[in-house]
A = this chain, B = another copy of it.
Amino acid sequence: MANADTVTGLQLRSTAKKEGILEISLATVATPEPKPEEVIVRIEASPINPSDQGLLFAGADLSTAKVSGTAEQPVVTASIPPAALRAVTGRVDQSLPVGNEGAGVVVRAGTSAAAQALLGKTVAIVGGGMYAQYRCIKAVACLVLPAGTTPAEGAAWFVNPLTALGMVATMRAEGHKALVHTAGASNLGQMLNKICLKDDVALVNIVRKAEHVALLKGLGATHVCNSSAPSFTDDLTEALVATGATVAFDAVGGGKLAGQILTAMEAALNRTAKEYSRYGSTTHKQVYIYGGLDRGPTEFTRTFGTAWGIGGWLLTPFLQRIGFEAAQKLRERVAAEIKTTFASTYTKEVSLAEALKLEEIAVYARQATGEKYLIAPNKGLR
């Protein structure tokens, strides 16, 4: 810390300018003095999740990206196509901090006992603005990581683990007995596979590459369907017959996959139907779109009766629905299993400045399976 009174550090900022230009820069900001119930966390690790990239890139065309500024404080600019700019009207010309979740060490604390008790502790936190050297946050929002857990191990404690747990909880709450997950081989997909194996929940994984079938099978998955295979529809239908899955969580969003899943669910249900029902199966079939790996239009032909739904799914309203205590139990499970069920793996660890290199953006912006980045905001700066 350069100053004994004020904690100052770099913070990544993203601005969508009204002229249709994205600007990503590193601002030097003074972290607010902690109030009695607050602490200042020195962020040591924060993952770049797909869910961070909407805010980070504002839909810009990254093939137009340029870098300027200095090596320590680079500035990335890129064009935002008109349609994408319209979609982010509400944030135009605002300089926004980025980064949903992270972990680090409490370096300063407010006067309350709860805050003081955290001094020196390694904690996991969530709430935006994590791509920064320091983050002021309420003490009650900090999850103290188990002894021996590094910030890098705890950084991705919230978004993927809670989303995966939320999928299983949603499946149960809505009366389904098994679930389908697309992007099965992703970090989140692998976590979900581990949860389902541990909790004895039947899971149908959908992946897009043969090597991801092998990867998941190697991790103990029973049902893995490759959407690129000619036999995909049949494979999926058989897996749905075997598991009885009638809810799917889809990271892709665009294209025909959501409709294909509903059609296969209907076919699986009709296998056991005893009598013709002109309105289709009476069992409700649901696809929740929780990601946008394909940002193009979603298209489906309604050949799956009338008992179906497609909708958005987001972690925050799910946690609000289940309430604080139920959510806290999920958080505690994540902390307890952070090195096993909820372990994440990363391709690369980068500093804030390195995260703005065009060659790094080109890799992590693809959101490809097995190419996940971790930002270490204080790397090389202390």
Residues of A within 8 A of B (CB): 54-55, 87-91, 94, 96, 253-254, 259, 270, 273, 275-279, 282, 289-290, 292, 295-303, 305-314, 316-317
Contacts and interface: CB of A to CB of B under 8 A. Distances in A.
Given A90-B277, A91-B278, A302 B298 contact: yes
A299 B295 CA distance: 13
Contacts of A317: 282, 307
Contacts of A94: 276
Contact of A312 (B292, B297, B309): B309
B314 A276 contact: no
Given A90-B276, A91-B278, A309-B309, 10 more contacts: A55-B278, A90-B277, A96-B276, A253-B302, A254-B302, A295-B302, A299-B299, A306-B313, A306-B314, A311-B311
A289 B297 CA distance: 18
Contacts of A253: 302
A296 B301 CA distance: 7
A279 B88 CA distance: 10
22 contacts: A55-B278, A90-B270, A90-B273, A90-B275, A90-B277, A91-B276, A96-B276, A254-B302, A259-B297, A279-B316, A282-B317, A290-B306, A297-B301, A298-B299, A299-B299, A306-B314, A307-B312, A307-B314, A307-B317, A308-B311, A309-B310, A309-B312
A182 to B, nearest CB: 15
Contacts of A310: 309-311
Contacts of A311: 308-311
A306 B54 CA distance: 13
A90 to B, nearest CB: 4
Contacts of A314: 279, 306-307
Nearest to A281: B90
A317 to B, nearest CB: 7
A298 B262 CA distance: 13
Residue of A87, A253, A308, A313 most packed against chain B (CB within 10 A): A87
A89 B303 CA distance: 12
A94 to B, nearest CB: 7
Contacts of A316: 279
Contacts of A299: 297-299
A303 B87 contact: yes
A224 B270 CA distance: 40
A376 to B, nearest CB: 24
A91 B273 CA distance: 12
A55 B280 CA distance: 12
A305 B54 CA distance: 12
Nearest to A270: B90
A302 B314 CA distance: 14
A154 to B, nearest CB: 24
A141 B74 CA distance: 76
Contacts of A290: 306
A245 to B, nearest CB: 18
Nearest to A278: B55
A235 to B, nearest CB: 18
Contacts of A270: 89-90
A348 to B, nearest CB: 25
B308 A312 contact: yes
A292 B292 CA distance: 28
Q: What are the 8 tightest A-B residue pairs by CB atom distance, in nearest-first order?
A: A309-B311, A306-B312, A90-B276, A91-B276, A306-B314, A299-B299, A297-B301, A308-B312
Nearest to A311: B309
